[in-house]
Chains A and B, each alone.
Chain A
Amino acid sequence: MFIKRAEDVGKWKFLIVSGRVDASNAHDFDSTIQNHLSNNTQWVAFELADTSYMNSAGLGVLLATLKTLRTRGGDVAIVRPHDNIKKLFQVSSFCKIFKFYLDAADLPAE
């Protein structure tokens, strides 16, 4: 429902997300992500261009994923965020700990 497509871009697991994430479905959002990850996945990129709405609950899911991957020595990347998502990250100041990329091509290979 949330993950429109999943691709492997180099070392990155590239997930294209769509829809609206709020308190009512944040839990489903989280389990969907987990379905695309294995126990040793380190690098995940979320394309949020079609994610028109997200609130703090969705932010919490992304933050939890970031925390898991960082402990494995990996990271989370946000690619092409929707204006509202950009706004959310700006207002909440979480833009400071997430890395943002304009395009999948910009994702670092190493």
Chain B
Amino acid sequence: MKIKYRLLAVLIPTILFITGASIFAVLKISEHFVVSQINNEAFSLARSYSKEFYAIFETSKKIAEGISASLTIAEEIAIVVKANNDVRGKYVRGFLLKTVASNPDIYGCAAAYDPEKYYIKNFAPYYYWKNGEMKYTSLGDPEYQYHKWDWFKDPMRTAKGSWSEPYFDKGGGNALMVTYSSPIIFQNAPVGVATCDLTLDTLVKRVKSLRVGENSYAFIISKNGYFIAHPDAEMLSKETIWKMAENSKDPDMIKFTEFLKSASADVLEANDPFRKKPSLIITSLIKSTDWLLVLIFPKSEILAPLENLRHNVVMIAGTIIVLLVLIILWLSSTVSSPIVRLVSQTEKYASGEFGEKLEEDSGPQEIRDLSKAFNTMGQAITNQINNLRATFEQKEVYRQELMIAAQIQQSVLPQSSQPFPELSQQVFLHGFSEPAKEVGGDYYDYFQLSDQRLGLVIADVSGKGVPSAIFTAMTQKLILEIAERGHSPAEIIRRANGILSRDNKSCMFVTLLYGEYDVGTGVIRFVNAGHPAPLLISSAGEVSQIKLKKSIALGVMPGARYEVTEFTLAPGETLIFFTDGVTEAMDCDGNEYGINRFINNVKANTDISCRELPGAILKSIKSFCGDAPVSDDVTMLILRRLKTIKGNVERPAMKESEAIRMRLPADAGVIDALKNAAELMAKRIGFDDKEVYEIILSLDEIVTNVIMHAYEGMPNEFYEVDLIPLEKGIRVDVSDHGRSFDFDKISTRYRGKATIDQPVGGIGLYLVRKSVDDVWYETGTIEGNRLSFVKYVKGPASASK
């Protein structure tokens, strides 16, 4: 999930929760505050209104009481002055007139006397206001019958003043009204009642003007449950509220009436029983009357400010949330957009573009640091790539140099695999050089000095690479050039050293072994310039290192002297010239292959051919070194003096020591010489003509096999035949280093069942098996493969015919 969305997902619920909780708390607190405020206001309103009504009622009461008190005094005065009924009547009416005239707020006043006992019968004058004019009427009219009205009866009976219930004063004031009656006491007994009237109309107007709000209203209710004043005029003439509650069975009404009856509570939160809205209902007792002023505030109205508050708070909170979300979005994009830039930079790096750099001066510190680190990394990678490229190019140059060096070194080595064919029956020469990875300066060489003398060289030039390869080539040509002038070995090397030492600024040198070999006598005259002496393999298979006088390497000391050592190689003996690449090869632990291991490995391999010997030694060196690379060239030169017959072959007696070895090219055209030699030897041994033919035939078939099959396609190869005279017998060995074959299989392919479709292959070896007394085949000999047979004079093969 992107950082932006993650931030939003975490922060938005948190903000919503916090702001929601705050709003809730603020609203609760303010609601409480507002409600209590409103309650207080309502209470004080109710109190002030009830005071106002009290003032109105108290005024009427005081007027009535004033009238009754004045008329009591007037009665006493009338006794004293012995006033007649006329005077009494005039005075009372005059007093009432003045009182009503001076109180325009009241409806009217009356003074009603006991209809029977008072001086004037049915005396009840009444003054009142009607449409701004003062009127007079006598309540003593027989129709009216004032002595039956409560307002008269109650004070007469109790001698106390009181408010009447609302009533319609029919025949009197002819209005809906309430009246305060105050008794006129004379001689401790009420003689009449003075009244003061208030029309309900006046009260209703007053009540209507009391509006607290749009839908709030007030009314006054008497102790007995009659409406004294109500904005709705219809309510005034109705039955008591108790009756209404009883009839309607409305729970709101019942609750309301119970609230009215209870003396303790003066506030109720309930449904308005008339308008059915949740309201705040407050009562206040109007003093001196026992009437209740009821104020009803609909909650919707009084809580309107609270609603406004709620609305405002929600609006503010919403604005805050929107702002916060925008801020979060902005913040998250300031965090994530550098990351997006870093990601695209990483992709550029991955595709190999390192050129573009990130801006390091913008964004928060961490991002700047990261950008800086990225740029540093990009620079480091670019540097690395450049280094690698440079290294690679350098290596390529070095590789090509090595190739050149290797080519030079190869060109120095003699190319012929079969040198000096005319001497091939006397000497076997085989050179071998395995260049190390880093081309060194080994070489070997051989050349003919005269008919019977060969020059042999093996050398190791110091250093590696092109310079040492050139030094090698130079040395090789130098030795050849000087040797061909016919100098003695010591002189050849002395002269060569003189030239190589001159101006040898690079201080290169070469260890070298030079040998002048006389093919006829087997004598070698060695000059050893700091080189290891060769190994000797005797005819018996013994291996040792020969001893040579040692002189200094070439190229070191201009005037050095070189000594000659003479060594004679017997027929059948082999010399192995080698360089220190053989003996100084190391394994991973730094152990040297060493001369002893070399000697032992040659000893273990005396049964294989001279041609294969260097390969076998190299294999053993490599297996000794293991994972360690062969660091130096491995070079060997093998010289074998062959057993040969010389001069006259006609000798009276044959001994095994007079064995003949012949070395012949793989050419069917030149086997007659071999046949002749074999025939001569066989006849001298004493074989008869038939046996001779069998021997020649067998030899012919075997040699033909070698030429046709072992050396198929290799006409320049050679094979060797040993003709070994035995006591009354002959042994013939035919050796080759060509392809070997399965002797048992081929020689038994033909079993003597001649048919016209018989393939000729296999018949040759069948003839051999039938013609000789024993025949066997070996592979892996010192020359390679060897097929041998033995035939005895009058042996089993001859006898069986």
User: Chain A's nearest CB lies how many Å from the CB of B689?
Assistant: 7
Interface size class of B (residues with CB under 8 A): 20 to 34
* A24 on the B face (CB < 8 A): yes
Pick the most buried of B694, B708, B756, B770: most chain A CB atoms within 10 A of its CB: B756
* A32 on the B face (CB < 8 A): no
Asked whether B694 lies within 8 Å of A60 as measured between CB atoms, the reply is: no
Point out the residue from B669, B671, B756, B764 that lies within 8 Å of A70, measured CB to CB.
Answer: B756
* B222 on the A face (CB < 8 A): no
Contact with B along A22-65 (1 / 0, CB 8 A): 11100000000000000000000000000001011101100100
Closest to A84 in B: B693
Contact with A along B672-708 (1 / 0, CB 8 A): 0000000000000000011001101100110010011
User: Chain B's nearest CB lies how many Å from the CB of A66?
Assistant: 6
Point out the residue from B690, B696, B754 that lies within 8 Å of A94, measured CB to CB.
Answer: B754
Asked whether A92 lies within 8 Å of B754 as measured between CB atoms, the reply is: yes
* B801 on the A face (CB < 8 A): yes
Asked whether B754 lies within 8 Å of A97 as measured between CB atoms, the reply is: yes
* A103 on the B face (CB < 8 A): no
Point out the residue from A55, A90, A91 that lies within 8 Å of B704, measured CB to CB.
Answer: A55
Asked whether A92 lies within 8 Å of B763 as measured between CB atoms, the reply is: yes
Cα A92 to Cα B762 in complex, Å, equals 11
Asked whether B693 lies within 8 Å of A87 as measured between CB atoms, the reply is: yes
Asked whether B700 lies within 8 Å of A92 as measured between CB atoms, the reply is: no
Point out the residue from A22, A59, A92, A94 that lies within 8 Å of B668, measured CB to CB.
Answer: A22
Cα A109 to Cα B480 in complex, Å, equals 76
Cα A57 to Cα B700 in complex, Å, equals 10
* A83 on the B face (CB < 8 A): yes
User: Chain A contacts of B697 at CB under 8 A?
Assistant: 55, 84, 88
Asked whether A93 lies within 8 Å of B668 as measured between CB atoms, the reply is: no
Point out the residue from B704, B755, B766 that lies within 8 Å of A57, measured CB to CB.
Answer: B704
User: Chain B contacts of A96 at CB under 8 A?
Assistant: 754
* B767 on the A face (CB < 8 A): yes
Asked whether B760 lies within 8 Å of A97 as measured between CB atoms, the reply is: no
User: Chain A contacts of B704 at CB under 8 A?
Assistant: 22-23, 55-57
User: Chain A contacts of B689 at CB under 8 A?
Assistant: 83
Cα A97 to Cα B668 in complex, Å, equals 29
User: Chain A's nearest CB lies how many Å from the CB of B682?
Assistant: 14
Majority secondary structure of chain A interface residues (helix, strand, loop or mixed): helix
User: Chain B contacts of A70 at CB under 8 A?
Assistant: 756
Point out the residue from B701, B707, B760 that lies within 8 Å of A63, measured CB to CB.
Answer: B760
* B771 on the A face (CB < 8 A): yes
Closest to B667 in A: A24
Asked whether B767 lies within 8 Å of A56 as measured between CB atoms, the reply is: yes
Point out the residue from B669, B693, B756, B766 that lies within 8 Å of A97, measured CB to CB.
Answer: B756
Cα A74 to Cα B704 in complex, Å, equals 32
Cα A60 to Cα B762 in complex, Å, equals 11
* A5 on the B face (CB < 8 A): no
Pick the most buried of A24, A59, A70: most chain B CB atoms within 10 A of its CB: A24
Asked whether B763 lies within 8 Å of A60 as measured between CB atoms, the reply is: yes
* A67 on the B face (CB < 8 A): yes
**B745-788 with Cβ < 8 A to chain A:** 752-758, 760, 763-764, 766-767, 770-771
User: Chain B contacts of A24 at CB under 8 A?
Assistant: 668-669, 671
User: Chain B contacts of A84 at CB under 8 A?
Assistant: 690, 693, 697
User: Chain B contacts of A93 at CB under 8 A?
Assistant: 752-754
Cα A88 to Cα B760 in complex, Å, equals 14
Pick the most buried of B669, B689, B697: most chain A CB atoms within 10 A of its CB: B697
User: Chain A contacts of B756 at CB under 8 A?
Assistant: 63, 66-67, 70, 97
Tell me whether A56 and B701 are in contact in the complex, defined as CB-CB below 8 angstroms, given that A66-B756, A90-B801 are known contacts.
yes
User: Chain B contacts of A94 at CB under 8 A?
Assistant: 754
Contact with A along B131-165 (1 / 0, CB 8 A): 00000000000000000000000000000000000
User: Chain B contacts of A90 at CB under 8 A?
Assistant: 801
User: Chain B contacts of A59 at CB under 8 A?
Assistant: 760, 763
Tell me whether A23 and B770 are in contact in the complex, defined as CB-CB below 8 angstroms, given that A92-B754, A96-B754 are known contacts.
no
Point out the residue from A23, A53, A60, A92 that lies within 8 Å of B766, measured CB to CB.
Answer: A92
User: Chain A's nearest CB lies how many Å from the CB of B414?
Assistant: 31
Cα A78 to Cα B693 in complex, Å, equals 20
User: Chain A's nearest CB lies how many Å from the CB of B207?
Assistant: 157
Closest to B759 in A: A60
User: Chain B's nearest CB lies how many Å from the CB of A74?
Assistant: 13
User: Chain B's nearest CB lies how many Å from the CB of A41?
Assistant: 17
Point out the residue from A53, A60, A66, A97 that lies within 8 Å of B696, measured CB to CB.
Answer: A53
User: Chain A contacts of B671 at CB under 8 A?
Assistant: 22, 24
Asked whether B763 lies within 8 Å of A56 as measured between CB atoms, the reply is: yes
Cα A78 to Cα B767 in complex, Å, equals 20
Closest to A52 in B: B693
User: Chain A's nearest CB lies how many Å from the CB of B709?
Assistant: 11
Cα A90 to Cα B755 in complex, Å, equals 14
Asked whether A87 lies within 8 Å of B690 as measured between CB atoms, the reply is: yes
Closest to A64 in B: B760
Contact with A along B327-340 (1 / 0, CB 8 A): 00000000000000
User: Chain A contacts of B752 at CB under 8 A?
Assistant: 92-93
Closest to B766 in A: A92
Closest to A57 in B: B704
Asked whether A56 lies within 8 Å of B694 as measured between CB atoms, the reply is: no
User: Chain A contacts of B763 at CB under 8 A?
Assistant: 56, 59-60, 92
Cα A97 to Cα B693 in complex, Å, equals 23
User: Chain B contacts of A57 at CB under 8 A?
Assistant: 704, 760, 764
11 residue pairs of the A-B complex, CB under 8 angstroms, read: A22-B704, A24-B669, A56-B764, A59-B760, A63-B756, A83-B690, A84-B690, A91-B801, A92-B754, A93-B753, A93-B754
Task: For the A-B complex with A63-B758, A90-B801 known, give 14 more contacts whose Cβ atoms are closer than 8 Å.
Answer: A22-B671, A55-B764, A55-B767, A57-B704, A67-B757, A70-B756, A84-B697, A91-B767, A91-B801, A92-B754, A92-B770, A93-B752, A96-B754, A97-B755
* Shortest Cβ-Cβ A-B pairs, 6 listed: A60-B760, A24-B668, A23-B704, A56-B764, A84-B693, A93-B754
